């Protein structure tokens, strides 16, 4: 996917408001809601993500696992989800630990944190997703990573193909994060956006 950034794209980034972001997060559990997002809106969103990536590119190192975990936990709690760190999932093998588990009413999200997306980390993620989806098909699995990893997700490669394949098969979504001294930010990329 190649996205050009023009001045008119900068006007209003999709999902930049709290209310829009909250609706998007809750929509990942509703197929009919996800299908209402147009290709144009999705493309505009990816362009805004590329701008965010460009702002931090080469200005800092990748965030560490604990930092990404904290940023995602803050984001999910801001969205009124109940979050637990490094926990087993009650419906799953208690020996198995997840970076984050979030619950809201009868919905659940398992978050797998990977500071860097590599071939090895993708293979581990695939194994984890397969286990979760086999036991709890309605649970959404999100891969949390640094916004600096955006090119690994968007640029045509074996890694991006693998991620898109997991998005199609297992509904793998992505959470991209950024943090500096003044702010922290989280962007949700639902699985449906990855193969739109």
Q: What is the pLDDT of residue 90?
A: 55
Return the pLDDT at 181: 79
Instruction: Give pLDDT, residue 182.
Output: 84
88: left (phi over 0), alpha (psi -120 to 50) or beta: beta
How many domains would you assign to the chain?
1
Q: Is residue 123 part of a domain?
A: yes
Per the domain annotation, does 97 fall within a domain? yes
Secondary element (H or E) of residue 87: strand 82-87
What is the per-residue pLDDT for 133?
Answer: 83
pLDDT recorded at residue 128: 87
pLDDT computed for residue 38 by the predictor: 92
The CATH number linked to 189 is: 3.40.1350.10
3-state class (DSSP) for residue 79 = coil
Domain-located, residue 1: no
- What CA dihedral angle connects 150, 49, 44 and 104, to 10 degrees? 90
Question: Which residue blocks in the chain are alpha helix, DSSP H?
Answer: 18-27, 31-34, 39-56, 65-78, 119-135, 150-154, 158-170, 191-194
pTM, entire model: 0.88
pLDDT tens, per residue, the chain with 196 residues: 544 444 444 457 888 888 899 999 999 999 888 989 999 999 999 999 999 999 887 788 899 999 999 999 999 999 999 999 876 555 555 566 788 999 999 899 999 999 999 999 988 889 888 888 888 888 999 999 999 999 989 888 888 999 999 999 999 999 999 998 788 999 999 999 999 8
Measured CA to CA, the distance from residue 155 to residue 172 in angstroms comes to 17
Range of the domain at 186: 7-194
Residue among 1, 26, 2 nearest 188 (CA): 26
Backbone angles phi, psi at 40, to 5 degrees: -65, -45
- pLDDT at res. 7: 43
The answer to the question of residue 158 being in a domain is: yes
Residue 180 counted as domain residue: yes
39 in a structural domain: yes
Q: Is residue 2 part of a domain?
A: no
């Amino acid at each position: 996917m190649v996205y050009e950034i023009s001045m008119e794209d900068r006007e209003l980034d999709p999902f930049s408001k709290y209310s829009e972001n909250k609706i998007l997060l809750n929509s990942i559990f509703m197929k009919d809601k996800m299908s209402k997002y147009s290709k144009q809106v999705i493309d505009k969103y990816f362009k805004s993500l590329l701008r965010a990536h460009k702002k931090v590119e080469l200005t800092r190192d990748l965030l560490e696992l604990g930092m990404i975990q904290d940023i995602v936990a803050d984001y999910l709690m801001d969205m009124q989800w109940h979050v637990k760190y490094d926990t087993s999932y009650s419906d799953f093998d208690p020996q198995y630990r997840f970076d984050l588990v979030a619950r809201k009413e009868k919905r659940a999200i398992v978050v797998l944190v990977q500071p860097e997306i590599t071939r090895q980390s993708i293979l581990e993620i695939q194994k984890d997703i397969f286990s979760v989806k086999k036991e709890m098909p309605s649970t959404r699995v999100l891969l949390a990573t640094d916004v600096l990893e955006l090119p690994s997700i968007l640029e045509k490669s074996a890694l991006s193909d693998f991620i898109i394949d997991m998005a199609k098969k297992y509904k793998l979504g992505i959470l991209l994060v950024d943090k500096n001294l003044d702010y922290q930010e989280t962007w949700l990329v639902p699985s449906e956006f990855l193969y739109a």
